[in-house]
């Protein structure tokens, strides 16, 4: 069964007005698995206002969900009763609720040609090195993370090293350092000089933050730009265990406050879209324009098309994302996408 897709309402959308009752779906923030609230527990609370058809993750944060009621009247009753008020049955959390809209399949366009080499995308600062690690090294890295505890999010599992990444704020707390990066990534760090035309003396190469993501088959990643104020220029991502297709989108409007999905719903649906196939054991580098101005996104598909050939996602894909935590405001050349410069 294909899970319904919902969109976050915008201020200009009729569904965003809390006084309207034209939708049976509610967008609920400050609520979800990342704060210890299961979908079943959430459904039980909202069921007091009418039949609940389903509870869905609104994005990958784990703190925003969609409640789908059987009828608009139930949704309106729940919104009026719970919006902006602490809910005792949900650990006393104050819920922030708006109407949401069901996205019809016809509104989804995934027809983006997929390239096999980075040069075909012509995105400055984007590099892909196949076979960055060997098959044996891949197995050693997977064994190392599987021997350590995972943190469960809505659709995937993660591990954090150096600094913990907070999905609610899309940032890190520089005052809460977890320690040095684990020794099993040392061979990876020593190999960064393999990237062509790359200044290995760059201060941003002194990487100190690692996020390990485990994606089950069909689970992807919402479109986003890594927060400028959180990390320095270079973002490295090593793909293990399985392949994926990564899409890159460049929008004309500022997207620093939210993902590109929100830019689409705010009326800026026009963007440049390109896609790249990431094989297992490959290392992707996003720097410069690719890092600061292009959203990256993994479609939530089990099967993708690469050069007219169907590519099925494996049962598991694990990525190692390595970054350098930023201690000073970002002064990049892309202020329309930069939270540091927009907040000045």
What's the pLDDT at 125?
A: 93
pLDDT, tens digit (0-9, with 9 covering 90-100), for 72-85: 999 999 999 999 98
Percent of the chain at pLDDT > 90 equals 52
Q: Where are the domains of the chain?
A: 6-106, 111-341
Q: In the predicted model, is pLDDT for residue 210 greater than 80?
A: yes
For the question of whether the overall pTM of this predicted structure is more than 0.75, the answer is no
Residue 237: other Cβ atoms inside 10 A:
20
Question: What's the whole-number mean pLDDT along residues 209-238?
Answer: 92
Integer CA distances (angstroms), 77 to 58, 68, 100, 117, 336, in order: 21, 13, 15, 52, 39
- More confident call, 261 vs 335: 335
- More confident call, 5 vs 296: 296
What's the pLDDT at 79?
A: 93
What's the pLDDT at 198?
A: 60
Residue 276: other Cβ atoms inside 10 A:
23
What's the pLDDT at 215?
A: 93
- Residues 243-263 as b/e (b if ≥16 CB within 10 A, e otherwise) read bbbbbbbbbeebbbebbbbbb
Instruction: State how far the Cα of 27 lies from the Cα of 198, in Å rounded to an integer.
Output: 43
CATH number of 6-106: 3.30.70.330
Question: What's the whole-number mean pLDDT along residues 4-15?
Answer: 49
Residue 88: other Cβ atoms inside 10 A:
9
Least confidently predicted of 6-15, 27-36, 240-249:
6-15
Instruction: State how far the Cα of 110 lies from the Cα of 181, in Å rounded to an integer.
Output: 37
What's the pLDDT at 254?
A: 56
What's the pLDDT at 160?
A: 96
Picking from 245, 239, 241, the residue whose alpha carbon sits closest to that of residue 316 is 241
Q: In the predicted model, is pLDDT for residue 225 greater than 70?
A: yes
pLDDT, tens digit (0-9, with 9 covering 90-100), for 152-182: 988 899 999 999 998 888 889 888 899 999 9
- Give the CB-side neighbour count of residue 93, counting CA atoms within 13 A: 19
Tokens 């609230």 belong to 37
Instruction: State how far the Cα of 311 lies from the Cα of 29, in Å rounded to an integer.
Output: 35
pLDDT band at 117 (very low <50, low <70, confident <90, very high): very high
- More confident call, 19 vs 167: 167
pLDDT, tens digit (0-9, with 9 covering 90-100), for 30-59: 998 888 888 889 999 999 999 998 888 887
Least confidently predicted of 241-255, 265-279, 305-319:
265-279
Mean pLDDT, the chain, integer: 83
What's the pLDDT at 11?
A: 47
- More confident call, 141 vs 102: 141
CATH number of 111-341: 2.60.120.590
Question: What's the whole-number mean pLDDT along residues 220-224?
Answer: 88
């Amino acid at each position: 069964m294909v899970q319904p897709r919902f969109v976050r309402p915008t201020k200009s959308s009729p569904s965003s007005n809390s006084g309207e009752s034209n939708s049976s779906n509610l967008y609920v923030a400050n609520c979800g698995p990342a704060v210890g609230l299961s979908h079943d527990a959430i459904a039980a609370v909202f069921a007091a206002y009418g039949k609940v058809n389903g509870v869905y993750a609104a994005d990958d944060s784990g703190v925003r969900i969609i409640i789908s009621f059987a009828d608009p009247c139930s949704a309106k009753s729940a919104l009026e009763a719970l919006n902006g008020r602490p809910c005792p049955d949900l650990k006393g959390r104050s819920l922030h609720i708006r109407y949401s809209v069901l996205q019809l399949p016809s509104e989804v366009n995934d027809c983006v040609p997929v390239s096999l080499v980075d040069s075909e995308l012509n995105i400055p600062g984007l590099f892909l090195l196949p076979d960055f690690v060997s098959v044996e090294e891949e197995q050693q890295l997977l064994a190392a993370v599987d021997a350590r505890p995972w943190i469960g999010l809505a659709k995937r599992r993660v591990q954090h090293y150096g600094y913990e990444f907070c999905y609610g704020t899309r940032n890190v707390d520089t005052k809460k350092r977890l320690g040095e990066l684990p020794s099993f990534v040392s061979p990876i760090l020593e190999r960064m000089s393999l990237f062509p035309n790359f200044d290995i003396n760059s201060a941003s190469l002194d990487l100190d933050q690692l996020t390990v993501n485990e994606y089950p088959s069909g689970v992807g990643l919402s479109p986003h730009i890594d927060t400028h104020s959180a990390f320095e220029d270079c973002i490295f991502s090593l793909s293990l265990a399985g392949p994926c297709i990564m899409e890159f989108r460049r929008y004309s409007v500022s997207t620093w406050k939210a993902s590109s999905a929100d830019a689409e719903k705010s009326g800026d649906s026009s963007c440049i879209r390109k896609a790249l196939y990431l094989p297992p054991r490959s290392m992707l580098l996003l720097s410069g324009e690719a890092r600061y101005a292009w959203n990256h996104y993994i479609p939530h598909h089990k099967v993708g098309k690469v050069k007219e050939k169907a590519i099925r996602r494996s049962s598991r894909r694990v990525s190692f994302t390595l970054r350098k935590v930023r201690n000073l405001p970002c002064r990049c050349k892309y202020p329309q996408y930069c939270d540091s410069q927009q907040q000045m």
